Amino acid sequence: MAGYFKADLVENSLLKTLRAFLKTMLDMDDIRSILVPCRLPMKPRIMPMLVSDASYLANADPIAPSFPLNSARIVSRLTRKTAGGVLAVVLRPCEMRAFVELVKLNQGHPDDLILVGLDCIGAFSNRDYAGIADRHDSDFSENYCWNVLSGKDTKTDGTDQTPACRTCMQPVPDQADIRIQLFGSRLEDGLCIQAGSEKGEQRLSRMQLKSSERSLQRDSAVEQVIRVRQSNCENMIAEVEQKTDSMEKLNRYLADCVNCYNCRVACPVCYCKECVFATDVFCHEPYQYLRWADRKGAIKMPTDTVFYHLTRLAHMSTACVGCGQCSNACPNDIPVMELFKSVSLRTQKIFDYQAGRDVQEKPPLTSFRENEYEDIVG
C-alpha cells in the first residue's frame, strides 16, 4: 500500500495545513474524536487532547518539539473496549511502536482506530521545553520545524533535544495508516501524505485530496537523519558500557535513585496492574534492615534501587521502544534511557526482534522457535 496524496499549504503555514487536514478528518461522519497534541489555553505547554469539536483544533500543534508523555498508554485505555465510533490519533513513531507492543499484550485494539503519524523531528525534555516555551512566542513550533527540516541546528537557546531523540533511528511512522511526510518533501509545494494501509487509503480517498508521487529526495533525506542518529547512538552505547561495566560502576550510575518509580509509571509498555516492587515482597521488616546494617556496617537507604532497575531491564528490554520517557520523568536526572536503550538494542538484536515493528510478530520468549539458540541448546 503506497498511495500518495497532497494537501495544499494553507497560508504558507505547515501548522495551519495540518490543522485543516485534521479538521477535514473530524468532519467525517464516522470519526468521533481525534487525539492530538495541543497547546494548553492556560499555559504555553503541549499536552495530548481528545478533540470532538473541530474549533478546538485551532490549538493543535503536532509539530511542537515537546513530548510530555508517551500517549500509547492513553490510546490503549481508549481502545480496550468499543467506544462507539472511530477514533483518529496523531502519534510519534515511538508512540506507535509502543502501542503495537500493547496490542500484542491485549492492552488495546486497533480495530476502530486511524493511526496518523508524522516524521519525527525530535523533542526537548519537559524541563527544557518549559523554559523555551516561556521565552518564545506561539510561532516557535513552526519556525523550529522549518529550521530542522532545512538542516539547521536542532538546538534552541543553547539547549539540544533529548538523548532519546538524538539517538532514535526510527523517525518515520511506518506503523501509521496515514503517514505525513516531512523529510525530503518540498513543503512549499504542499504536504505529502502517504497511505500506509488499506484503511488509510480509503480514508484519504474520501477526503478528496490531490494525488501525488513520492518525493525523489525522500529516501536520501531519511537516510541522512538515520545516519546522524546512528552515530550518536553508537557513541552513547560506548559511553554507557564504559560507565556500567562492573557492579561498582553500575551502583555509581544509579546512585541518585530514590525509588520514586517515576520511570516505571512513565514507561508506555510497563503495563502490569500491580508491580512486584509495590507489593509486600519489598516491604521489608524493620529487623531485616537492622540485620543488613549490622552485617555490612552501613547500608544505603532506600534499598533495592539497583535491583529495581535490573528487574525492569529483565522485564522490558525486549519491549523498549527507546522513547526516553523514563529519563524525562526522573526527578534526579539519572540517564535511565541511555542504560535501557543500550541493553534493549542488544537484547532485541539477539532475538532478531524490533519492538513495535509488526503487530503480527510475537514477542521473544512467548512462543517456541525450533531453530533458536542452537549454539546453546544443541
Span 64-79, pLDDT tens digits: 999 999 999 999 999 9
Which letter does DSSP use for residue 320 in this model? -
Chain segment 112-158, per-residue pLDDT in tens: 999 999 999 999 999 999 999 999 988 999 999 999 999 888 999 99
Beta carbons within 10 angstroms of residue 82's beta carbon: 9
Q: Do residues 347 and 317 touch, judged by C-beta distance below 8 A?
A: yes
Mean pLDDT of 227-238: 97
Choose one of 194, 229, 264: the last residue of a domain: 229
19: closest CA among 66, 67, 51? 51
Assess whether 219 and 250 both reside in one domain: no
Assess whether 157 and 32 both reside in one domain: yes
pLDDT exceeds cutoff 70 at 223: yes
Number of domains in the chain: 2
Assess whether 193 and 315 both reside in one domain: no
The confidence score (pLDDT) of residue 189 equals 86
Choose one of 229, 251, 272: the last residue of a domain: 229
Assess whether 48 and 191 both reside in one domain: yes
Assess whether 178 and 317 both reside in one domain: no
The confidence score (pLDDT) of residue 378 equals 60
The set of long-range contacts for 58-63, using a CB threshold of 8 Å and a minimum separation of 24, is 58/19, 60/15, 60/18, 60/19, 60/22, 60/36, 60/90, 61/15, 61/37, 61/141, 62/18, 62/36, 62/37, 62/90, 62/118, 63/14, 63/15, 63/18, 63/118, 63/121, 63/141, 63/142, 63/145
Question: How high is the mean pLDDT of the chain?
Answer: 93
Mean pLDDT of 34-45: 95
- Spatial distance between the Cα atoms of 111 and 115, rounded to a whole number of angstroms: 11
Lowest average pLDDT, out of 164-173, 199-208, 228-237, goes to: 199-208
Range of the domain at 241: 236-377
242: closest CA among 347, 342, 148, 160? 342
pLDDT exceeds cutoff 80 at 369: no
Chain segment 282-327, per-residue pLDDT in tens: 888 999 999 999 999 999 999 889 999 999 999 899 999 999 999 9
Choose one of 195, 229, 263: the last residue of a domain: 229
Q: Which residues contact 109 (CB under 8 A, 6 or more apart)?
A: 79, 80, 103
The confidence score (pLDDT) of residue 377 equals 63
Confidence grade of residue 53 (pLDDT, cut at 50, 70, 90)? very high
Assess whether 314 and 270 both reside in one domain: yes
Edge to edge, the sheet with strand 178-181 lists: 46-51, 31-39, 86-91, 113-118, 178-181, 191-195, 4-7, 210-211
Assess whether 65 and 35 both reside in one domain: yes
First and final C-alpha spacing in the chain: 41
Assess whether 94 and 32 both reside in one domain: yes
Confidence grade of residue 376 (pLDDT, cut at 50, 70, 90)? low
- Spatial distance between the Cα atoms of 290 and 301, rounded to a whole number of angstroms: 12
